[in-house]
A and B are shown apart, each in its own frame.
Chain A
Amino acid sequence: MWLTASGLGCVRSGRDVFTGVDFSLAAGEALLVLGRNGAGKSSLLRMIAGLVRIAAGELVLKGGAVELTLPEQAHYVGHQDAIKPALTVRENLAFWAQFLGGEAAADADASLDAALDVLALGGLATLPAGYLSAGQRRRLSLARLVAVRRPIWLLDEPTSALDVATQERLAGLMRDHLGAGGIILAATHGPIGLSGTQELRLAGAASPAGPAGPGPAGPGEAA
């Protein structure tokens, strides 16, 4: 499996967020997306998830499942947890496992419990999710990664709100995923416990001189 981006550009409401982003990831490799606030880290991940239009350049996945699109093979864990407060912890995870996993959910019960246990939510399974703390909500949305197998993980600041023990657990999960031939892209401000990762530093298209500047800066490298 091979995920390649060449000359990716992102435009939000008429403003260039970033231009000319290139990276190339093979199976088992991880990419840390770095950059200051507003540099477009989240936009890049959402673009790969198919939620933001690709304004320039192209994104190619080779060697994945032929009949599926790139977003259908990717997990996206963003700032919002996609958790319904009125459902219990287990119901929340069970819904996403069935909805995202499709036909593979036959042995769902065992894998759900396993996924909850991995993120130390096993004891809270019957609690309505509205009672969870921020870190527990984050753990519940990370449990999707375990409950449904998808080869590409798009993680937007995955360690935010997590305690140290859970950060180590998450690092272990990510190492297992890479070991199994997965691909991880993570937007982050700090270390997330992976070694040997590639780094992509987004400078942002806005010039540091002032917010009025960016107009003429971008279009030169539109491929």
Chain B
Amino acid sequence: MTAVAALLMRDIRLAVRLGGGAPIGVLFFLVVVTLIPFALGPDLALLRRIGPAILWLGALLASLLALDRLFAADHEDGSLDLILMSRLPLEVTVAVKALAHWLTTGVPLVVAAPVLALFLDLKPRAMGAVALTLLVGTPALTCIGAMGAALAVTLRRGGLILAVLVLPLTIPVLIFGVAAANAAVGGPMPFGPPFMILCALSLISFVIGPFAAAAALRHGME
């Protein structure tokens, strides 16, 4: 367990230190959410209606931002070689790195979402709904992204390919995340079913993601 704790602490440290990905994600989220009202104009009723969707899109793009460095940084400086030689199973290593990424990127987005929701004139109930669905849904984004990051690890300019690979796979998460958030505000649908499906998507991707990413890493190192 020492190895797991050491890896988790190292990745969190790297993310929050200067040049790490954690603050960039939240800043990007802020910029995206701020830009959209400028594009749409000052129609508060419209913003209130599409606010949850804007927040979800912003969070999706922001959580992708630091993902391309998840394995590429370790590949470039040779750390990945040593990680592959460790006694820790590679699947566990991937899961720990994904957890560190979620703690440093996903959780700040969840915390920031209610604040940014003010820009979109969301009511407290809608703010809570968006934050809750993001809390449940962002682990799925991280785990799906980890698969893409592992596939793109040996490629130069892997970040762009990562976005192309990963964004289509996140569509179900986006659909059910926004559906659940809208349902909580008083849409035609009940809140329960889309929220449960969102939970299920997170759990499935947490089960599949580490194994798929580990397989991709092993294959990619050849």
> A-side interface residues toward B, CB under 8 Å?
46, 49-53, 68, 71-72, 74, 76, 78-84, 86-87, 91, 94-96, 98-103, 105
Structural contact, A76 and B81, CB atoms closer than 8 A? yes
Q: How many of chain B's residues have a CB under 8 angstroms from any CB in A?
A: 27
- Nearest A residue to B85 via CB reads A71
**Known contacts A98-B5, A99-B6, A105-B2: does B13 contact A91 (CB below 8 Å)?**
yes
**Known contacts A87-B10, A99-B6, A103-B2: does B87 contact A49 (CB below 8 Å)?**
no
- Pairs A-B, 5 closest by C-beta atoms: A80-B78, A98-B6, A82-B78, A71-B85, A82-B79
Note all chain B residues with C-beta closer than 8 A to A72: 85-87
Is B43 an interface residue when CB atoms closer than 8 A count as contact? no
CA distance in complex: A52, B84 (Å):
11
Structural contact, A99 and B86, CB atoms closer than 8 A? yes
Structural contact, B86 and A78, CB atoms closer than 8 A? no
- Minimum distance in angstroms from B126 CB to a CB of chain A: 38
Note all chain A residues with C-beta closer than 8 A to B128: none
Note all chain A residues with C-beta closer than 8 A to B76: 80
Structural contact, A86 and B18, CB atoms closer than 8 A? yes
Selected from A78, A87, A102, the residue in CB contact (under 8 A) with B78 is A78
Is B188 an interface residue when CB atoms closer than 8 A count as contact? no
- Nearest A residue to B17 via CB reads A86
Structural contact, A51 and B6, CB atoms closer than 8 A? no
Note all chain B residues with C-beta closer than 8 A to A46: 81
- Minimum distance in angstroms from B67 CB to a CB of chain A: 18
Is B3 an interface residue when CB atoms closer than 8 A count as contact? yes
CA distance in complex: A81, B74 (Å):
11
Selected from B9, B14, B18, B87, the residue in CB contact (under 8 A) with A84 is B14
Is B168 an interface residue when CB atoms closer than 8 A count as contact? no
Note all chain A residues with C-beta closer than 8 A to B88: 99, 102
Is B82 an interface residue when CB atoms closer than 8 A count as contact? yes
Selected from B82, B87, B222, the residue in CB contact (under 8 A) with A68 is B87
CA distance in complex: A102, B4 (Å):
9
Selected from A53, A94, A100, A103, the residue in CB contact (under 8 A) with B222 is A53
- Minimum distance in angstroms from A3 CB to a CB of chain B: 16
Is B221 an interface residue when CB atoms closer than 8 A count as contact? yes
Selected from A49, A53, A86, A103, the residue in CB contact (under 8 A) with B85 is A49
In the complex, 22 of the A-B residue pairs with CB atoms within 8 angstroms, ordered by the A residue number, are A46-B81, A49-B81, A50-B85, A51-B85, A53-B222, A68-B87, A76-B81, A78-B81, A82-B81, A82-B82, A84-B14, A86-B20, A87-B10, A87-B13, A95-B7, A95-B10, A98-B2, A99-B82, A99-B83, A100-B82, A100-B86, A100-B87
